Structure 1
Amino acid sequence: MDTPSLSDDLRRYFALLWQWAWLLILATVLTGGVAYLVSRRTTPVYQAATTLLINEAPATRSADYASVLASERLARTYTELITKKPVLEAVIAELDLPYDERELKSAIQVELVRDTQLIELKVEDTDPQRAAEIANTMVAVFTDQNQTMQAQRYAASKESLEAQLADMDAQIQQTTEALARLTVDEGEPENSAVKAERDRLEIALSQFRQTYAYLLQTYEQVRVAEAGSTSNVVQVEAATQPESPIRPRLMLNTALAGLVGLMLATGVIFLTEALDDTVKIPDDVTRHLDLPVLGLIARHEVSGEAPLITVVEPRSPVAEAFRSLRTNIQFASVDYPLQTLLVTSPSPADGKSTIAANLGVVLAQSHRSVALIDADMRKPMMHRLMSLPNRAGFSALFVRPTTSLDGALQETAIPGLFALTSGELPPNPAELLGSEKMWEIIHQVNQVAEVMEIDSPPVMAVTDASVLAPRVDGVLLVIRPGKTKLAAARQAVEQLRRMGANLLGVVLNEVELGRSRYSYYHYKGYYYAYHYSDAEGRVKRPSRRRNGGRGRTEGSG
């Protein structure tokens, strides 16, 4: 049994995909078309973006590792704070947006640009102008709130110092006015009490001015400290109104949907192929049954009145295929020429009767006398295929006291071809076929025909074929690709081999040549194709012609 190579598997997979190319194209176009229509009907969404720079406080700037970590934490903190509820509420109130905080937050993306102090703020909205307004307003609101929040750290100290400065200023003003009232005219004597009061007020005024100067200096130091430790963000690139939406991306969605449809269709095809347990190609026969393929008979149509293609169209490609089958059978039994040939199939509806009848025709056309026996006494077909009466036939010979073929073996319209129809259907066909009378009948037929071809019931349906197989020179197994189960074919072959049958090979019937795997099949180094020559020896490709009122004939069983 040959092991399939990688190239054989690839060729098989390619042929499978080519066979189902219509499904792949349909799935791709259908899914892509649905995605296109849905994308066209979807409301477009626009995105506006702005860039912020973290203006870090001068007092915190340093080149050491701790300062770097602090800067990174500050940046992450700002990316979280900018989407918090206070900012969102202020933006909604200022722009009068038809959103709540949750809906607005879901439309905002804040990303920290790696290894920088930049923050990228993106806003999505169905209105491009509103998206830009939201982005710019969020920056302004966050900047104001951040400044207010950081200014509150020094507010208490500044308020206390401002109150003390105001108090000192008031006392200085009062002391100055008191000194002004103690001033006397020149030339008038100054008593000791007035002098003492003046001195006291001057000393107090000096102290108040020193205290005021100290408080003022302290106040300035607090302001410097506030300015040096306050971090904020600066908008380095304002958001502008976007011109095109970010979604739906019409072409991208269509392409991706088409690709998904193509992949799904491919998966379905391979899954169907994996689950399909029928015989499909000649490689299945050689790989699983270890039998040669002696012929490939294409699906064809013939008229109901003349159902045999070898009779109606003897020069057709299908008729040539039967002649090729005849030649292959002859080469399969060179050492022991075939006199009795059994034609059977694993299961019903494989077309074995049609194969047997057409093969009998081409055997007779090779100037040999051929007897075609319909041993299928359960569902006979040979009398219909040969257009013969079925009154006295094969079953009637079993009840005659002496074995005589008088009136049973009928001549057909084909010179050299005789047919022994089934006759009346007996209740016990298997017992009749296994009796000694059966072999007497076969001996009598061999006296008048060079080749005897027996059409038997399917192997898996009844035991008739198993009974006949050991007594004939060769067995031809008919398989219908896509219909015959591989398990049934394997079991039929095993059963025939256990009975000691000489299995010549397999005929693949009703092959659909239109499919890629059969249209020009490369099989074991040979190409299988149909052709014929005209009178001058030129090779011609016949055109397919169909007669009116024709129907496809599959044969029996």
Structure 2
Amino acid sequence: MDLSVYLAPLVKWWRLVVVAAVIAGVSTLVATLFQPAVYSSRTTLIVGQSISNPNPSSPQFYLEQELAKIYADIGSREPVRRGTMEALGLAWLPAFSVRALPNTQLIEIAVTDTNPVRAQAVAAELANQLVRRTPADLIPEDEDRQTFVDDQLARMQQDIQTTQDEINALQTRLGVLSGAREIADVERQISGLQDKLRSLQTTYASLVSGTPRGAVNSLTVVEPAAVPARSSGPNRMLNVLLAFALGGCVAGGGAYLIEYLDRRVNHAAEIQQLLGWPILGEVGQIPAGADASTYICDQPDTMVADSFRALRANLESAGVGTRMKTVLVTGPSPSEGKSTVALNLALTMAMAGKKTVLIDGDSHRPQPIYRNQKGLSDLLLNGGDPTEHLINPYPRQLSVLPAGVTPLKAAGLLSLTNLRAILEGLGPVAEVIVIDGPPAFVSDSLVLAGAVDGVLAVVRLGHSPWDAVREMKARFESSPANILGIVLNGISKRPAFYHAYYQEPPTSDHPTQSGTFGKLRDVLRGLGSPGRRAGVATQSFDLRSVWENLRLKVRNIWHARLGRALKSDERKERVI
């Protein structure tokens, strides 16, 4: 699995991802700077008295947990909210939450506010409002009854203690008696006192269960609310980091969505995986404004010219020029650059000393430069010697057979028999024949592909549609065409050392001091206009020319450093 294919959208749109992340992070930072600090105060209550009971029971625990859920729901209701506002004299309450902690009898109240004192007061009063709504909380008219019950409990506790002492005394006396009658009388007394003790204990337990000390349905504050010493938010650093991550993720998702909606071939790995054909060459872009028909002749030391020489070498290795003589150059759709590739490939073959013929085989879109000149269509209509229609508009050993004066009239006459006869007629004057054919979806391309020794498919990255590429593969694989490989057109990005190797920096007009400081001085000297550098006085200061000169100087210095490094590596290789 090639991860580069899956990461290609992120690499292609990395600027969008970075910009989106930065915008999201900066926006979040600016927004949080204007947010006030917030404080959180908490208080905790417990339901029942199980925590203080040395022998609690499971049913009691379950009942208290269910009561905790009910009280947590009551705490969020309007009566508790209104009672808290009336008790504190507030017109509104800050944000708060009341929840029962899972699998416990605890209830937690949390209040968040910009004022820490108010947060503590609201949390404490909310807890107080809940406690006041429990049955164990006393109302004023029940205070006398509770006092009576407390007095009775005190007396009963004293009676229980006295009875227990009497039982202990009788049991001690029973151990020293010897008469049967006396022993029986003491045992009756002990039995009566034990019955009395049990009755007193039962009554005492019943009275205690009706008081707050023994009530299950009661609330007790175990953690009072405190004034918070530090703010709980906003966490600016965390918010900014999350915004960065979220902005980057959204932009990354957008990049994948754009690539999914973009039905064009953008990467070499995609086209090779789709077609399964070898890549024989990668052709760079010819500079804007340059004449594509003579560029490699005028600029033979450029990367573009070298890429065509590499393509020629790969084709020769495949047998073109020896056992294979004719090559069709086509593509999946128009504007792939197939005509430029075909012309420059033919020029490269001719510059290598091979007699080459270029045939304009696209009857629907013939090249304008050969207009109104007899050629392929005239041979199909009228017959004749193909060599009589050859023209020589280019230097070297390159001849051209144009599409003809009226190419569309002969579109239906193109057949394997006619085309092979024309190619055989060109055999004596050509070692290599390159045909600039129509796109693969045109029926003529199948005829041309069946008559030649090999087919070269030109695919332009960022332009060729996926559907057209698939259709080209299906059409050629269902025909007897011999596919040589693919030429990738429009390769625009190369590492810096390519430019340093192929483009030597221009020499300076004046002597310079070696070293970094000398080159920096040359850059500063060249900030003016060209007239000033040549010693001519200038009256104006053009900011654009200053920037352009500075950019060119820095680029030339960088290329010079890389060039020296490459030459040093070459010398080392020769020594080795």
Q: Same fold (TM over 0.5)?
A: yes
Residue of 105, 117, 125 corresponding to 1:129? 117
Shift of 1:42: 4.6
Q: Displacement of 1:74 after TM fit? A: 4.8
> What corresponds to 1:450 in structure 2?
431
Q: Any conservation in 2 of the 1:79–1:110 contact (CA below 8 Å)?
A: yes
- 1:108 is aligned, of 87, 93, 96, to 96
- TM-score, normalised to structure 2, is 0.68
151-160 or 225-234: bigger deviation: 151-160
List aligned pairs for 1:67-82, cutoff 5 A.
67-82=60-75
Matched, 1:238 2:219: no
Residue deviations 1:519-549 (CA, integer Å, cap 9, x gap): 69xxxxxxxx968xxxxxxx9353699xx9x
**Is 1:326 the equivalent of 2:312?**
yes
- Name the counterpart of 1:11: 4
Equivalent of residue 356 in structure 2, options 340, 352, 370? 370
Which residue type is aligned with residue 90 of structure 1? G
In the TM superposition, what is the alpha-carbon distance from 1:439 to its structure 2 partner?
4.2
| Contact 1:391/1:424 (8 A) holds in 2 | yes
Shift of 1:118: 4.9
Give the Cα separation in 1 of the matches to 2:484 and 2:230.
76
Question: What does 1:3-402 align with in structure 2 at a 5 Å threshold?
Answer: 6=1, 9-42=2-35, 44-52=37-45, 56=49, 62-99=55-92, 104=93, 107-112=95-100, 118-144=106-132, 146=134, 149-151=137-139, 226=211, 228-229=213-214, 231-234=218-221, 236-246=223-233, 248-305=234-291, 307-333=293-319, 337-381=323-367, 384=369, 390-400=372-382, 402=384
Q: CA contact under 8 A between 1:296 and 1:509: conserved in structure 2?
A: yes
Aligned to 1:467: 447
Moved over 6 A (4+): 57-61, 158-161, 221-224
Q: 1:119 to 1:430 in 2, by over 3 A?
A: same
Matched-pair contact (CA < 8 Å) for 1:55–1:234: no
Aligned ranges 1:496-511 → 2 under 5 Å: 496-511=476-491
SS in 2 for 1:453: strand
Q: Are the aligned partners of 1:59 and 1:229 in contact in 2 as well (CA < 8 Å)?
A: no
Say whether the 8 Å CA contact 1:91–1:138 is kept in structure 2: yes
- Counterpart of 1:194 in structure 2 is none
- Provide the secondary structure at the position in 1 that maps to 2:391: strand
The number of residues matched between the two structures is: 451
Q: CA deviation at 1:23?
A: 1.9
In 2, Cα distance between equivalents of 1:223 and 1:290: 90
Whether the 8 Å CA contact 2:320–2:432 is kept in 1: the answer is no
Q: Is the 8 A contact 2:110 2:123 kept in 1?
A: yes
Looking at structure 2, the residues matched to 150 and 81 of structure 1 have their Cα atoms a distance apart, in angstroms, of 19
Q: 1:235 to 1:336 in 2, by over 3 A?
A: same
Q: Determine if the alignment matches structure 1 residue 412 to structure 2 residue 393.
A: yes
Structure-2 separation of matches of 1:499 and 1:236: 86
Verify the 8 A CA contact 2:41 2:112 in the aligned structure 1: yes
Determine the C-alpha separation between the residues in 2 that align with 1:158 and 1:399.
125
Is the CA contact (8 Å cut-off) linking 1:344 and 1:455 kept in structure 2? yes
Q: Could you tell me how far 1:73 is from its partner in structure 2? A: 4.3
Aligned residues of 1:48 and 1:242 also touching (Cα < 8 A)? no
User: Whose helix proportion is higher, 1 or 2?
Assistant: 2
> What SS does the corresponding residue of 1:506 show, helix, strand or coil?
strand
Contact map agreement 2:359 2:434 (CA 8 A) in 1: yes
CA contact (8 A) 1:474 1:501 kept: yes
- The CA distance in 1 between the partners of 2:209 and 2:430, in whole Å, is 126
- Give the greater-gyration-radius structure (CA): 1
The structural deviation recorded for 1:26 is 1.8
Quick check: 1:60–1:67 contact (8 Å CA) kept in 2? no
Give me the TM-score of the superposition, normalised by structure 1.
0.70
Using the TM superposition, give the Cα deviation of residue 365 of structure 1 relative to its aligned residue in structure 2, in angstroms.
0.9
Correspondence 1:432-443 to 2 at 5 A:
432-434=413-415, 438-443=419-424
1:44/1:339 Cα in 2 relative to 1: closer, same or farther (>3 Å)?
same
Deviation at 1:97, TM superposition (A): 1.6
Q: Deviations over 1:447-493 (max 9, x none)?
A: 22222211111121x21111222112222111112222233223223
Query: Given the superposition, is the C-alpha separation of residues 228 and 390 from structure 1 closer, same or farther in structure 2, using an over 3 Å criterion?
Result: same
Contact persistence 2:71–2:130 (CA under 8 A): no
Describe the superposition over 1:290-339 as per-residue Cα deviations: whole angstroms up to 9, x where unpaired.
32111111223153445443123111111111111111111112796222
In structure 2, the partner of 1:512 is: 492
CA contact (8 A) 1:46 1:245 kept: yes
SS at match of 2:363: coil
Query: For 1:491, which of 471, 478, 482 is the aligned residue?
Result: 471
CA distance in 2, matches of 1:57, 1:468: 95
Output one character per residue of 1:150-186: Cα deviation in whole Å (capped at 9) or x when no partner: 458956967999xxxxxxxxxxxxxxxxxxxxxxxxx
Q: Would you say the 8 A contact 1:278–1:482 is kept in 2?
A: yes
Q: CA RMSD in A?
A: 3.9
Q: Which residue of 2 aligns with 1:199?
A: none
| 5+ long unaligned stretches in structure 2 | 150-202, 507-547, 549-576
Identity %: 30
Q: Indicate conservation of the 8 Å contact 2:416/2:450, yes or no.
A: no
* 1:133 to 1:390, Cα distance in 2 relative to 1, 3 A: same
The one-letter code of the counterpart of 1:31 is A
Match of residue 501 from structure 2: 540
Change (3 A) 1:84 1:409: closer
